[in-house]
Structure 1
Amino acid sequence: MSDAELAERPSLADFSQNEHAFPRIVMMGLRRGGKSSICQVVFHSMQPLDTLYIESTTTPTTSVFSSFIDFAVVELPGQINYTEAMIDADRIFANCGALIYVIDSQDEYTNSLANLHTIILHAINANPTIDIEIFIHKVDGLSDDFRLDVQRDITQRVTDELLDDGILNIAIAFHLTSIFDHSIYEAFSRVVQKLIPQLATLENLLNVLCQHSGIEKAFLFDIGSKIFVATDSSPMDIPTYEICTDFIDITVDLNSLYTVDRRKPNSAGQAGQAGQGVKDEHRQPARPIGSTSRLSNGVILYLQQMVKGLALVCLMRKESMPKIALVEYNIDFFRDALEQLWLLG
């Protein structure tokens, strides 16, 4: 996401020295599980293959991100044994919105599940309202059938161990993830959405927009990370999500190629040379990002930039194009409502 700040904390003793007023996501897991790779790919636009050269995290690291909501992602090193005394449990989890535990699905995960169980016990004791998200990671190396088997096995083990301890009605979400496809973006989107107090209002606004504009599906994306902040209530599938994220990349890349000449030529001769020798101080970025594209199957992709680095991406049928003026009129109202919602939040 845009405006990311990276700050390394030397030890857990300093963990709560600089508390933030916005939500915090804590990422945990055993060493080499893939925590750093996830953060670099999702929030810092690193190519997945380049993550092979990332060194293991040795100190707690906090990344602060600014979008529709501001939040921090705290990555804790896997080599620290959090099961010993857990004297920092309150410090780690008390003001934590979500706990993400990363499990390497291609490795023997017995030790990882034991570590997870102990962490969950301390987390819910320190913060009963915490959202617990399990990323079953690196599933790109597994067959489709085996992925589901691993997910069922991990889900069953985690649930059974909690039941044995008498812990009921605890909400735990399990996600199959990989940095080599869009699954990691979808999983992180689901985590971030749970931290947005205005999520229900955003979804309702998108439903109303779709209903009155002939839009089949609408997403509200963060442009930088391609996490979707909200979507309407119609069913979503991964291919649709992938098409939308690819469309964002193409639109951003093309938009960066163009600038607007703000120089006012005094004569026809000057105007004729405007595109040839324009100085940098006369060249400014193009207007807010917007794009429309027609796919081979007749689906129309429509993108408009919104407030705080967000983009509205819509899928429409070609029958909606004659009414594009009405669609844009409704989107202007949606933008105003979004800005008011953001200011109130």
Structure 2
Amino acid sequence: MIGKHTHLWPGVPLALGSAVLFGASAPLSKLLVGSIDPWLLAGILYLGAGLGLAVVHWGRRLIGLADVEAALQAADLPWLAFVVLFGGMLGPLFLMLGLSQTSASSGSLLLNLEGLATMGIAWLVFRENVDRRLLLGAGAILAGAVLLSWNGEALRLDEGSLFIAAACLSWGIDNNLTRKLSSADPVQIAMIKGLVAGSSNLLLAFIFGASLPQAGLVGAGALVGFLGVGVSLVMFMLGLRHLGTARTGAYFSLAPFIGAVLAVVIFGEALTFQIITAGVLMAIGLWLHLAERHDHEHEHGALEHEHSHVHDEHHQHSHDGPFSEPHSHWHRHEPLRHKHPHYPDLHHRHSHE
């Protein structure tokens, strides 16, 4: 059982929750896409996420919870700019260009490259620890996602396919760069990303001739965006904080299966052998990840940073006056050597032989 005192909490539930919300957004968006221009809908989804999180962000200040998370610092702004560029602007743009030039089946199949790109960049570029069990689990989840998207047609690697692959690469870069910001307030970061990406997509949609739909449809799209993009992104970033990029990305790859199951419920689609087999593969991958136990003696060097925390074995500093938990402030970690199960989180980004 996942409890407070295990290395699985709260990272795994957060990553899975992010996948559930994002996976649910696909069939819910399908209910709207027949009445709203696709590019305009993308803008509404992201802008709904940004505006909804703005309410949450300022609401926390009104009720005195502003110091629970670390605010963005000047040093974070270049990383934030790249996150918005790759994840909020280039990714959606490449996707739209790709979908306009390739078949829907090829497009949905290629979108599974995002999980592979996320893990590959984390492993090869940022040298995040990835063991055999994690690779096998991620492979099973990815195989399930591919099977879910496959409809028997041959995959055509045309110009449209290259654009979709570029979109997945952009999102893979985005996911890895977002890790650089995972100690800062995820609501603030996701809010900025949603507002910038949503405004950009809306502007482009109107430039290319889209017309504004009825207010009720706009409201429904904004609500789906708030939950499926905004809240999902906040949970994804918190997952990055506790699990690292590769593991969070692997759990997030479950989203297509969530979407497929909800499509069965919402649209009355058949529960096919394909969906059941994909579910079994993903369940195997999930079990391999949950059963992972990375446990060895490791050393923490002296470290100074700011993030939301409670006073646990990694946070033993003193305070001048009374305080509540969780809280955020600049603090120093003294050198420490110990042994316990862990993931490559904020405090365990050490190298391995």
**Structure with greater helix share of residues:** 2
| TM beyond 0.5 | no
TM-score between the two structures when normalised by the length of structure 2: 0.22
TM-score between the two structures when normalised by the length of structure 1: 0.22
Determine which structure has more spread, i.e. the larger CA radius of gyration: 1
* RCO comparison, higher one (Cα < 8 Å, 6+): 2
